[in-house]
Amino acid sequence: MAYTPELITFLAMVGSFIIGAMVVKLPVSLSLVIASIIGAFVGGAGFPIRHIVEGTFGYIDTVLVIATAMIYMKGIQRSGLLGTMANQIIRGFRRQPLLLLIVLMFFAMFPGMVTGSSTVAVLTAGAIVAPVLMNIGIPRNKTGAIIAMAGILGMIAPPVNIPAMIIGGGVDMPYIGFSVPLILITFPLAIIFVLFLGYQHLSEIDVDAMDLPQSFYPKYGIKLYLPFFILLILLVVEQVFPKAIPSLGMPLIFLISASITLISGKRFGVLGTVSEAVNEALPIMGILAGVGMFIQIMTLTGVRGFVVGMLIGLPASYLYLSIGISMPLFGAVSAYGSASILGVPFMLALLSQNQILAAAALSLIAGLGDLMPPTALAGLFAARVVEQKNYVKIVKYCIIPGLLTVGYGIFMILSPWQ
């Protein structure tokens, strides 16, 4: 292979990013910024301040979604709604353990669906679900695997899928029409995985022996659920009847729904809650700023076109093999980084396919990066939640679900519905 200027620039950018994130242990966002600046110099663009600033704000709409979604998540947690939902799910399905297992899986996915973060899902709903799963007979390590997979699938499920937003932004495709494809991609896998990992261990459920989260329903009644109902109604109306009301946009929908938590349940400090939510979202928002800068410099220096041309020239079998191997492995540094650095070029190579379905499938495969060592964020935090010191014991139970996820993602790209 001839070492063209674009190839040298690409290797410099990817190499400096990996060194920064994995060797020097810098934050992923800072590693992306450094890689972008190095790429600009190596590519002969000097220090293009306009492109650096423009790239930083390339995903500002997604940043706003993440910040407001995190505020909403903190609001329903502080108001008592999240714990109440868990309590009522467990009591309502206690005589139907099979259904309880599936519903708990969806509940564990919910925070990831709202925030686009597997870590948030594992540390909030996952922490509530884990003791219940262990109490009904599921071993500790398999419980950790269930909530790790729930976090990843929740991150990919609608309404908020950051990898899909990144991929769409990189090819000028709006994040519209993704809800049904993402449901078809994630929900069947969620049911299969929780039954595969937990069904054989189910035992009788003794609710009285469990340390359930407190239910505030007796005190606040149906009013406690108002933030959830309003969010659901606004999202459905926005998707199904786009011309019925003026488009509010997801950030405003999350803020409206979050504001209802102030009157629906327990009282809590607004400023402290908002501050905590934004602080927890900052690492993700920083990564998105770095991703935007990285893609902007790739475009400026011709690297983006070079990579796309190289991928388009691959035989189809090699292209799909590259997707199945490289995206999860690169996601070990950052699933969002995998979606931008690899997902965008792969998407450009798949433009002849159904673009929404292809982007959704690529985001699913990229999301597996949160299971890949050495970072393995979903596995690492799931291990903490179930009090397992060696997170590898959690991750090993995710190998078969991970392989099925890759296979299903590639099947969706190649599916007859294209």
To which residue do tokens 């102030």 refer? Answer: 262
| pLDDT value, residue 351 | 82
Task: Determine the distance from the C-alpha atom of residue 144 to the mean position of all C-alpha atoms in its chain, rounded to a whole number.
Answer: 18
How far, in Å, CA of 348 to CA of 350, rounded? 5
> Looking at the 3D structure of the chain, how many domains does it have?
1
**Rg (Cα) of the chain, in Å, rounded?**
21
| pLDDT value, residue 374 | 66
Q: Which residues lie below 8 Å from residue 190, measured CB to CB, with a gap of 6+?
A: 102, 105, 106, 109, 149, 150, 153
- Closest C-alpha to 46, from 59, 31, 36, 33: 36
> Which residue stretches of 209-269 are H helix?
217-220, 226-240, 250-264
| pLDDT value, residue 349 | 84
Q: Which domain holds residue 368?
A: 5-414
How long, in residues, is the chain? Answer: 418
Other CB atoms within a 10 A radius of the CB of residue 123 amount to 18
How far, in Å, CA of 125 to CA of 280, rounded? 16
Q: Is 200 exposed, middle or buried (0-12, 13-18, 19+ CB in 10 A)?
A: exposed
How far, in Å, CA of 226 to CA of 47, rounded? 50
| pLDDT value, residue 197 | 94
To which residue do tokens 């799931």 refer? Answer: 382
Q: What is the pLDDT along the chain (418 residues), one digit of tens a residue?
A: 567 888 899 899 989 988 988 788 888 889 889 999 999 999 998 999 999 999 898 888 888 888 998 899 899 999 999 899 988 988 888 888 889 999 999 999 999 998 888 888 898 888 889 988 988 889 999 999 999 999 999 999 998 898 999 899 888 888 888 988 999 999 999 999 999 999 888 877 777 777 778 899 999 999 999 999 998 888 877 766 666 667 778 889 899 999 999 999 999 999 999 999 999 888 888 888 888 898 889 889 988 778 777 777 778 778 888 899 888 987 776 788 788 878 888 898 888 888 899 999 999 999 998 888 766 778 888 998 898 888 889 999 999 999 999 999 999 988 755 5
| pLDDT value, residue 177 | 85
Beta carbons of 72 and 114 less than 8 angstroms apart: yes
Cα separations in angstroms, 338 against 24, 135, 331, 405: 19, 37, 5, 16
How far, in Å, CA of 32 to CA of 290, rounded? 5
DSSP notation for 107-173 = HHHHHHHHHS-HHHHHHTHHHHHHHHHHHTT--HHHHHHHHHHHHHHHHHSSS--HHHHHHHHHTT-
Other CB atoms within a 10 A radius of the CB of residue 72 amount to 25
